[in-house]
Amino acid sequence: MNRLYGRGKIGERLVTNAPINRGRNTSVLGALSLDGLIASMTVIGSTNKKIFEVYIEQILVPQLWSLSNCFDG
């Protein structure tokens, strides 16, 4: 976060440089239960529908099944 206001000499405009995005954007997907974090995935860049579906199918659903109390038979 950068400052939005500053102090300068009376009658003069305050000019300063502030860094803008450095590096790459990172998206973090996660699921919480009553016991804490159960499934997480980090993606370089933004998340779209395809990435979210992969997260649901390959990471979240297997974790939910392993934590469930339902057994066949």
Establish if 40 belongs to a structural domain.
yes
In a domain, 43, yes or no: yes
Residue 35, pLDDT score? 84
Q: Is residue 20 part of a domain?
A: no
**Enclosing domain of residue 57:** 26-67
What 34-39 contacts at long range (C-beta under 8 Å, 24+ apart), as own/partner pairs, is: 38/63, 38/64, 38/67, 39/63, 39/64
Dist. CA 46–CA 64, nearest whole Å: 25
Domain count, the chain: 1
Task: Tell whether 2 is covered by a domain.
Answer: no
pTM: 0.63
Distance, in Å, from the CA atom of 49 to the CA atom of 63, rounded to the nearest integer, reads 20
- Residue numbers of the chain with a pLDDT score lower than 70: 1, 21, 69-73
